[in-house]
Structure 1
Amino acid sequence: MKKKKIVVIGGDAAGMSAASKIRREQPDFVIIVFEKSEFTSYSACGIPYFISGKVENLEDLIVRSPSEFIKKYKIDVKILHEVLELDTDNNKVLVHNYSDKTQFWETYDELLIATGGKPFCPDVANRTADGIFGIQTLNSGKKVATYISEYQPKIAVIIGGGYIGLEMAEALILKGIKVTIVNRSTEVMSTLDPDMGKKVNEVLQNLGVTIYNSESLAYFDEQLGKVISVVTDKRTLQTDLVILGMGTAPNTSFLQKSKIKLVENGAIKVNRMQRTNIKNVWAAGDCAETKNLVSKKNFYIALGTVANKTGLVAGTNMAGGDLKFPGVVATAVCKICVYEIARVGLLESECKALKVDFVYTIIKSKTRAHYYPEAKDIWVKLIAEKRSGKLLGGQIIGEEGAAKRIDVLATALHSKLTLQNIIDLDLSYAPPFSPVWDPVQTAARKLIGMI
């Protein structure tokens, strides 16, 4: 009897989570993974910390090597292999082998697309000059670290003020590099409301970062093939290094001529089982859309947590199971030096677009009891539905101990809790950890009076 053949495109979080789950459930399946880079199953989120030197060895970010997948799990991982084209009518993919520069067609019974995301960069002059880097793959992190070691840059410009931009700002500050951020929005962190984004601006400026908001990239200047300046619509900034932090786009350009259905931004449309519009083709991770449990709308979000979870769901179903991915509440955290930033749920602008009648508040509190040594400032913003008091979203900025409080609000959103429910939660208290009223509860107490 012919063994079922699974082909996975992409060997990182979603792809290898799926492949590993399929192997656990189906020991006899043939599983082939095509990965464009030389690495598999690694922590892309750890890349800035490798560049900064906080993580000493690149290998520490690798969960399992290609050889381990082959020997221990009998998963045929083919690194330096890129899938160029799909033929879903005949169940095959066109593969380019970078090692010997050959191409071949590989057949499949079931196919998983887990190609992740790619750093966005507009099509501007000299975008391919040396010294310009997107931060997405382990290989890209390795290249940045090598470039810094070799050229010892003194000045860096980061294009974009999102998660990648802020985490890379920290990495470069720790390397002694002067950082400037060019940001198209009115404030950094467009995943926060502008009033909270303004506080992040202040945090960055306190760390010595120069910020130019409401400013767009025009092009790059280069000399002898190496970037020497960033030209915006308002100024020219001399630089030794450029980091692209303008967000992530689904890595799906190779699907444009296929029969796989894509949404407007290029993400793959999937159902709750991670199945595409083609019955035996699945998709998971940063290349696929998902559902926002608060807005009840499908949307795109590129996070390692979502990639691993959707990969597990896809793998379960490809192995014959019946598992559905419920969606997410868009929980995210990041850190820049001593400051922590977190968000969950909806922004004010999203509430307005949904025509939800809402109220919000921002409170300033302390991460510990005010009298306890090293108690730090924390700001909490909560958004709630005006009539019901149901929580809609939250944002937190502060120092050590601030960001993980967002998990309380994430749990509240998953459970559809109201402000009163949050106030009633039996949260832990001791002076080294929190005031007697935790800051998220203090914010809920203030906001409930506005309903």
Structure 2
Amino acid sequence: MSERLVIIGGDAAGMSAASQARRLKGPDELEIVAFERGHFTSYSACGIPYWVGGDVDERDELIARSPEEHRERDIDLRMRTEVVRIDVDEQRVLARDLDSNGSDGSDGSDAEYWTSYDKLVIATGARPVRPPLAGIDAPGVHGVQTLDDGQSLLDTLRRTEGRRAVVVGAGYIGVEMAEAMMNRGYEVTVVNRGAQPMSTLDADMGRLVGEAMAGMGIRMVNEAEVTKILTGEDGRVRAVATEDGEYPADVVILGIGVRPETGLAREAGLPVGTHGGLLTDRAMRVRGHDTIWAGGDCVEVLDLVSGSERHIALGTHANKHGQVIGSNVGGGYATFPGVVGTAVSKVCELEIARTGLREKDAKAAGLQYVTTTIESTSRAGYYPGAALMTVKMIAERRTGRLLGVQIVGREGAAKRVDIAAVALTAGMTVDQMVSLDLGYAPPFSPVWDPVLVAARKTVTAVRKAG
């Protein structure tokens, strides 16, 4: 008799788990039923800003595998179907067909049905932060979490004659959407609650990002809390209001961040952490529940540097979680060890990268540390196209163990953070990093790579600190 695997969520983690499980077990051994409430599956949400901005021509270029392709692999994928309840005791889920729910004038109860499971995967993702402000749901106000969101925004841009865009928030989504709107020819204002953009960086590095964005013609409004969205007589958005002023807008994009989508899990009594994400073991099994796994943006993961749990919404992690889950539910064995918090982004020509801990993270972990900041170039200084970059490095005060790196610069800056990510994962000291045998040629790097220059300086700082 075959088992039934039920998956809630049809994007990166969920469908990676389904595909990996199917590789290990055929349909005669394992029935796979997956529920997805949206119109699309297995797509790159990280690519949405570049599709909106015109760097990617077609929406379908962001889709790795269509529902039909999943079904060809004997995965029963049910689109536009939302799971509204998990019954842990009876091992079943209640699903609702969104396209037929109430469409005939009924209360929609006939569109709901129960599906039992032997094994359950929760991959519900994350939801955009949408504060309860007056006007937040007005036409012209958009989040950008899903392909449906991106399509809705593009439809608005095609209908809108005005060319003023206000982006609320200056994290990864905010700065990427600021670039997208500039590429579309809009006048862009970024309203940011913090003193500097990119709160994932320390303030001194965030200041470099803010200065660069302002130099690109983006209006930066920092330390400003949005109080309401103002609308015109037609009900459409016309401005964003803060305590200190109003900023005219023909379109508003929310880039405030995301939170784990764990409402279903909470209602079912499953364990969640301090950041709101589901808690799992290293096999991605929900703690205390042998038949339930979870992965992607709805879970918290182990930070290998600080030793604490944290929530990081990235497609790279979600796909790895799915591979681990699929291996385990399919009869194999795999684990997810944790993360070091590596992320890269860009706004126009500026590249932004970080990995490991910020200063405030190190303090929160009870670590004593030293910091150094250096300026260098992406190539040998005499080679055409050499671009400046700033590297900040954080190391433990007594041991010299690397704790974190942040990089802001032009072409060739961001991916250098991978050197530091590997060093963090290996638990290297900055002294050990100095001896790393990195590739060198004038078109690619100075003789001393900028990361190694920072490591040398940090070694000196550690020694001076005793």
TM-score normalised according to structure 1 size: 0.98
Distance in structure 1 (CA, Å) of the matches to 2:138 and 2:292? 37
Q: Which runs of no fewer than 5 residues in structure 2 stay unpaired?
A: 102-110
Q: What's the offset of the Cα at 1:110?
A: 0.7
Q: Would you say the 8 A contact 1:359–1:386 is kept in 2? A: yes
Are residue 232 (structure 1) and residue 233 (structure 2) matched?
Answer: no
Q: Residue 416 of structure 1: which of 423, 427, 450 is its match?
A: 427
Aligned to 2:280: 270
Alpha-carbon distance in 1 for matches of 2:319, 2:162? 35
Which of the residues 120, 138, 143 maps onto 2:129?
120
Partner of 2:81: 81
435, 439, 450: which one pairs with 1:439? 450
1:258 counterpart residue number = 268
Residue 52 of structure 1: aligned partner? 53
Aligned position for 1:62: 63
> 2-side partners of 1:15 and 1:383: how far apart?
36
Q: 8 Å contact 2:275–2:300 — kept in the other structure?
A: no
Amino acid at match of 2:25: Q
CA distance in structure 1 between the aligned counterparts of 2:31 and 2:64, rounded to whole angstroms: 22
Moved more, 233-242 or 357-366: 233-242
1:450 maps to a residue whose letter is A
User: What's the counterpart of residue 112 of structure 2?
Assistant: 103
Distance 1:265 1:374 in 2: 43
How many residues get paired?
449
Deviates more, 1:141-150 or 1:156-165: 141-150
1:387 maps to what in 2? 398
Q: Distance in 2 between matches of 1:24 and 1:233?
A: 56
What is the alpha-carbon distance in structure 1 between the residues aligned to residue 348 and residue 282 of structure 2? 38
Contact 2:373 2:393 in 1 (8 A): yes
Shift of 1:139: 1.0
Q: How much is the aligned-residue C-alpha RMSD, in angstroms?
A: 1.0
Residues 232-291 of structure 1: CA distance to partner in whole angstroms, max 9, x if unpaired? 122111111111111110112233321211223321111111111322111100001100
Residue aligned with 1:450, SS: helix
Instruction: Please give the secondary structure, in 2, of the residue aligned with 1:287.
Output: coil
Structure 1 unaligned residues grouped into runs of 5+: none
Determine whether 1:279 maps to 2:278. no
Distance in 2, matches of 1:275 and 1:355, equals 29
State the distance in 1 between where 2:267 and 2:339 align: 30
Which residue number in structure 1 is paired with residue 22 of structure 2? 23
1:116-155 aligned within 5 A: 116-155=125-164
The residue aligned with 1:181 is: 190
1:159 paired with 2:168, answer yes
> 2:34 matched to which residue of 1?
33
**Aligned-partner SS, 1:329:** coil
- Cα deviation digits, residues 144-197 of structure 1 (max 9, x gap): 111111214411111111000011111111000111111111111000000000
Q: Is the 8 A contact 1:367 1:439 kept in 2?
A: yes
1:333 aligns with one of 341, 344, 351:
344
Question: SS of the residue aligned with 2:353?
Answer: strand
SS of match in other structure, 1:429 = coil
Matches of 2:150 and 2:177 in 1, distance apart? 11
Q: Counterpart in 1 of 2:12? A: 13
For each residue in 1:279-313, what CA deviation from the matched residue of structure 2 results, as whole angstroms up to 9, or x when unmatched? 21111000011000000111111111111111111
57-66 vs 209-218, greater mean Cα deviation: 209-218
Equivalent of 2:203, from 181, 194, 199? 194
CA distance in 2, matches of 1:355, 1:194: 20
C-alpha contact (below 8 Å) 2:275/2:310 kept by paired residues: no
Moved more, 137-146 or 224-233: 224-233
Which has the larger displacement, 333-342 or 320-329?
A: 320-329
Q: Residue 445 of structure 1 aligns to which amino acid in structure 2?
A: R
Q: Work out the CA distance in 2 between the residues paired with 1:119 and 1:194.
A: 24
Q: What residue number does 2:219 align with? A: 210
The whole-number CA distance in structure 2 between the counterparts of 1:45 and 1:264 is 25
Matched-pair contact (CA < 8 Å) for 2:393–2:455: yes
Spell out the pairing of 1:266-415 with structure 2 (5 A cutoff).
Answer: 266-276=276-286, 277-415=288-426
Q: Secondary structure at the match of 2:267?
A: coil
Contact 2:342 2:354 in 1 (8 A): yes
Amino acid at match of 1:317: N
- The one-letter code of the counterpart of 1:448 is V
TM-score normalized by structure 2? 0.95
Specify the code of the residue in structure 2 equivalent to 1:64.
R
The 8 Å contact of residues 253 and 266 in structure 1, kept in 2 or not, is answered as no
